[in-house]
Structure 1
Amino acid sequence: MHSINMNALWFSIPLILAETYSYFGALLFMFGLWRPIVRQSEPVIPNRTVDIYITCYDEPIDIIKQTIEMGKNITYPNEIYVCDDGHRQEIRDLSLQHEVHYLSRPDNLHAKAGNLNYAYNHSQGEFILILDADFVVLPHILDDILGYFRDERVAFVQTPQTFYNIPRNDPFGNDASFFYGPIQQGKDGLNASFSCGAGSIFRRKSLETLAEKRLEKQPNANTRYLEPFETESITEDMYTSLALHSLGWKSAYHSQPCGFALSPNDLGTVYKQRFRWGAGTLQVLFRGKFFSRNLTFGQRISYLSTMYYYLIGIPAIIYLVAPLAFLFLNKTPIVTDATEFALYFIPYYSLNFLMFYVIASGYRWWRGFQNSIALFPIFIASLIHVIIRKRLTFKVTSKETLSGNYLYLVLPQILLGLSLLAGIIVGFIKITYWGYYWQTPAILVNIFWAFYNISLLFNIIKASFWQPTFYENDNAFQILFYSFLQRAAKDPTLVQSLKQRRFVK
């Protein structure tokens, strides 16, 4: 603390807080990966009843049709329910045509959570597999997963969400293979793997105990209509998982791909999705559910790690603007010379970077890291919305690429990038024309920092006007991939090859 620049506390204190955030974030990250579990499928439980919920709202009918058809290829006996919150006659007709159940509730209260609760009250299966409208599954998904429920305390099992339409270079940072690999496996080791919605299967009895527990707190509620899926957050999947864990139930994570989905391929949809994730997760954080006395220490820390990530917006903006304070105003956060600063900072940063690189080796993690910093406006907005308790509504992620120019969405990043570029120019002018020779090392350090920050911002700016090529076009890719899956449904060797690879690395 003796090195803090007392003459620039407006700069020093925010940067120290940002560094403190990063330090504890690194500790949480390492703790979460300490003892991962890589599970292998257990023998399937025969003669159980399974309901499959396909939730939909306004998705294209062709996408829903593909999901229904792949669901009907599932080898384990099941009942399929199309849960239509769009109340569309064409979806009713589609369900009738494919001989599956059609459900449409009288209102859209509580969005997806309400849709799932309505389906729960209109079905009877011992297990419930949840699919989004675009989530096409492999035929042996239930054979691979049901065996985990031999343990009577397992409430749910989550499978990876593998996206099959991620463009080359992944401009939107949609590749989630690192999250659905080491991170979820690490959480599984702490009995804290959580449901991510699509691709998760629940034990009805566990949901029943959760709903009954809620009824105890609402004595005047309708006891005939149970609401096991949490409606207090727009991320109902994570909230429901936390509630089940707090009741002593266990979870399991099956890391082999069992289904494939569409990722958003335009910046407007990406913004909506990330905002929903951030705001929904922070809702859970500020309601303090992870302090439940029934959670283990490991579970509490694991959930906190996920929630903590979505506070990144404010530290990110501090890191991004920090070099400008020196390049323009000649202010430093600490009183030291560049050499001493480098001796402390470079080893610390390099070791952190090396740790992450080793852990994430083989995964495409850099784009996701870039966007975690560059999407600071979204994370700050989600934090503000939750703090002021502004009502949040669930917005369905579009399953189609929406054409258009989204430069207006990245105006903060553009302005910040131009400011950093101007700072770099000023830095070079200071060295070459204004005689700041004695500050050359410090100026060069901040110029490098500014260049690095520009590299973090550049991709999201470029992504704002990205357009798919023919081979990256959603429709073309869906047709090819769906044809392949239909063939895989009839060829066990193809299914095995799909289960053994990570599609995107």
Structure 2
Amino acid sequence: MGNERTLLPPLYEKIWEKHTFSRVMDSLILMLLVILIGYRVCSHNINTFPWFIALLCESWFTFTWFVTISTKWTPSHTITYINRLFLRVPEPELPLLDIFVTTADPVLEPPIITINTVLSLLSLDYPTNKLACYVSDDGCSPITFYALLQASIFAHIWIPFCKKYNVQVRAPFRYFSSDEDTANNNDLPEFKQEWLRMKEEYEQLSSKIQNAAQNSIPLVGEFEAFSKTQLRNHPTIIKVIWENNEAVSSVVPHLIYISREKRPQHSHHYKAGAMNVLTRVSGLMTNAPFMLNVDCDMYVSNPKIVLHALCVLLDPKGEKEVAFAQCPQRFYDALKDDPFGNQLVALPLYIGGGFAGLQGIIYAGTNCFHRRKVIYGISPDHDIQNRNKDHCVTNETLSEKVIIQKFGASKVFGESAAHTLEGKTFTPNDNHCKSLDLEAASEVASCGYEYCTAWGKQVGWIYGSTSEDVLTGLKFHTKGWRSELCTTDPIAFRGCTPQDNIGQMSQHKRWASGLLDIFLSKHCPIFGTLFGKLQLRECFAYIWITNWALRSIPEICYAVLPAYCIITNSSFLPNKEPGLWIPATLFVLYNISTLTEQLKSGMSIKTWWNNQRMGRITTMNSCFFGFLTILLKHLRISEAVFEITKKEQPSSSEGSDENVGRFIFNESPIFLTGTTILLVQLTALCINLLRWQPLQGVGEVFCSAYVIMCYLPFLKGLFRKGKYGIPLSTICKSMVLTFLFVHFCSRSTITG
């Protein structure tokens, strides 16, 4: 039988792409950067301050571009064959799948968004008795629990409707706002009547949840557990909302609500801690060999995605090498021309595809299918009979002592983990969630359960960074595992992005700080290559992504260099041929390269410019404050905080709102850097206009004007009022910093 399986065709193929034009342009840019550095080193101006700073910055840019090219050089994507999957695994033998949905704040992450994600997951094209959906509520909100209760009732009519009419988009709020799916069934006489009924039922569901959010829910009966809870001080609450007991109904999969215990004196490790609790509780209840985790706003847009992912994970080669299958992130209701640069269309295509062509795509924190045994810390070369180094083995079974040390004191969970690591099936209590002793589940969800265990270190999601997703994926790759980018048509998941620049900048600040935290820790990818099994080019790719925050320093320095040179009447650019043409050609080629990538991704020229502009703003503001956050953390002045990004459903009227796409400002210090850079450039240009003597070079004036163009939203914010204007306090602080900068330039001129 084993030989027959090996003779069957593979379940997926990796297709290598050739971005020839992109390769040529990237190589030319790298060559020009090296030539520019060589020109500076050989120049007689090397001893001048601006020339030296430019050399340092350009050396960093060259290194960054080198690791970028290394990452992008061999892009790939996968093609899966679902029809071949059933030749290997008959439908009754398909593996169980545990689904994890995480939410943390009912205000920033409204329950209506969460239940739409849950409903789309419950209605996947997969046997319902093999699915279990676990919702982690770190906000311990009775509103979220109430919304899930109501959603489970609606699911009994929604799931059959979706499967009967082969609905593609199974998140109700998206389905009823689009005519795409309904057009395919308009000819069916009964469809319209059922469609109207479904829409009415969903509107009633939305109304109930909205009313519950506006009016307090009586904390009695099922809700009594929430009566004496605080956000960071409450016991574990586990509720089996629906159990898929085939004797009653097989329409709706298991649905379980979990709010883990939190106490003020215990660290809860943010999302990573929530994921580890979900892993343990699900290990006690259903113990599926595969797990899918999604953020609360990422609904399913391809209901067959589980089958596509299993093609990767159950392929003979994939079973031995692939730790997880990551689906790309896409977003719905994008603002026209992407004014805040957060749609990330070209980046996943070129950089994401490049990662996929190496040791594998990074773990993005959502839309990812995991192997449970990999989460439990197993290595790809693990052999339970050969006493692999990962776990102590006695008589081909894991010793009880090691189980307790690694997985905690729960005997039931220890037995479950041992069976998983040994490749055996362990399903407690015949897969009936309600019949399980919830005390055991509450024990593994308690805040003190992980003490003196390997959770967060060698087992589960890894602690130590607010970017726990990238850190956990890096840990897998360091062990020698690969990962695959599971690309499907249509795209598997869609989510929402911040609808304003404040949310976007806050999100990038969290990413930048968390990623830098990884680079400066013992989990640094360089160590993974030197002492682990992280491949060299995969290491370069991780260096590229974990150094977002560090890029802010050379970019800020390079941005203020033109102003410094204008004020001091000096130069940091070559002003004689042939050196003059090096930075000019470099600037032109870089913009042609990025523009071409955007156009090939289906974006407009204006979208390209918005992404270029936001790239500068994000790096010099969000990433800079991410850098400061980690600096303060390592100086033990303050700790990094996990900031939740606001999720919201864009209203249908937004497209006609003239304020859509406008920058919003507040008194957050994140706007201080950008405002100061803008005022510095404006001051320098004013000094240049008032100066009697001619300027040494026009290149600096052009660069200063380019920076002002990038900061045009800030320039408009200087003259606007309300939330669209920069607060006076921020302007005053920036004016003080600008004065200090000009004073420094004046002192440099006198000293020179």
1:279 equivalent to 2:513? Answer: yes
Residue 109 of structure 1, CA deviation: 0.4
Distance 1:288 1:305 in 2: 17
Equivalence map 1:39-188=2 (5 Å) = 39-43=78-82, 44=85, 46=91, 47-58=94-105, 59-77=109-127, 78-97=131-150, 98=152, 99=242, 100-107=255-262, 109-123=268-282, 124-138=287-301, 139-149=303-313, 150=315, 151-152=318-319, 153-188=321-356
Distance 1:449 1:366 in 2: 16
Alignment CA distance shift 1:467-1:63 (3 Å) = farther
Equivalence map 1:32-431=2 (5 Å) = 32-43=71-82, 44=85, 46=91, 47-58=94-105, 59-77=109-127, 78-97=131-150, 98=152, 99=242, 100-107=255-262, 109-123=268-282, 124-138=287-301, 139-149=303-313, 150=315, 151-152=318-319, 153-209=321-377, 219=405, 222=408, 224=410, 226=455, 227-256=459-488, 257-289=491-523, 290=525, 291-292=527-528, 293-333=532-572, 337-363=575-601, 364=603, 365-375=608-618, 376-388=620-632, 389=634, 390-400=638-648, 405-409=664-668, 410-430=671-691
Residue 263 of structure 1, CA deviation: 0.5
Distance 1:79 1:248 in 2: 30
Could you tell which deviates more after superposition, 148-157 or 368-377? Answer: 368-377
Instruction: Supply the AA of the counterpart residue of 1:134.
Output: D
Q: Computing the radius of gyration over CA atoms, which structure comes out larger, 1 or 2?
A: 2
Alignment CA distance shift 1:129-1:5 (3 Å) = same
Deviations 1:219-261 (A, max 9, x none): 5873546541111111111011000111111100023321111
- Name 1:497's counterpart in structure 2: none
1:450 to 699, 704, 713: 704
* Structure-1-length-normalised TM-score: 0.83
Instruction: Say which structure, 1 or 2, has more relative contact order (CA 8 Å, 6+ apart).
Output: 1
Q: Secondary structure at the residue paired with 1:392?
A: coil
Unaligned runs of 5+ in 1: 469-505
* Structure-2-length-normalised TM-score: 0.57
Residue 408 of structure 1, CA deviation: 3.6
Distance 2:260 2:584 in 1: 58
Alignment CA distance shift 1:87-1:42 (3 Å) = same
Distance 1:340 1:199 in 2: 51
Q: Secondary structure at the residue paired with 1:309?
A: coil
Residue 175 of structure 1, CA deviation: 1.2
- Name 1:482's counterpart in structure 2: none
Q: Is the 8 A contact 1:424 1:447 kept in 2?
A: yes
- Name 2:29's counterpart in structure 1: none
Residue 187 of structure 1, CA deviation: 0.5
Instruction: Supply the AA of the counterpart residue of 2:705.
Output: F
Q: Is the 8 A contact 1:171 1:459 kept in 2?
A: no
Distance 1:213 1:13 in 2: 50
Residue 372 of structure 1, CA deviation: 2.6
- Name 2:177's counterpart in structure 1: none
- Name 1:481's counterpart in structure 2: none
Instruction: Supply the AA of the counterpart residue of 1:423.
Output: A
Q: Secondary structure at the residue paired with 2:48?
A: helix
Instruction: Supply the AA of the counterpart residue of 1:37.
Output: S
Q: Is the 8 A contact 2:496 2:649 kept in 1?
A: no
Distance 2:58 2:570 in 1: 18
Root mean square deviation of aligned Cα: 3.0
Q: Secondary structure at the residue paired with 1:67?
A: helix
Residue 94 of structure 1, CA deviation: 2.9
Instruction: Supply the AA of the counterpart residue of 1:253.
Output: L
Distance 1:204 1:358 in 2: 41
Q: Is the 8 A contact 1:338 1:445 kept in 2?
A: no
Residue 405 of structure 1, CA deviation: 4.5
Matched residue count: 459
- Name 1:13's counterpart in structure 2: 52
Residue 435 of structure 1, CA deviation: 4.1
Identical residues among aligned pairs (%): 23
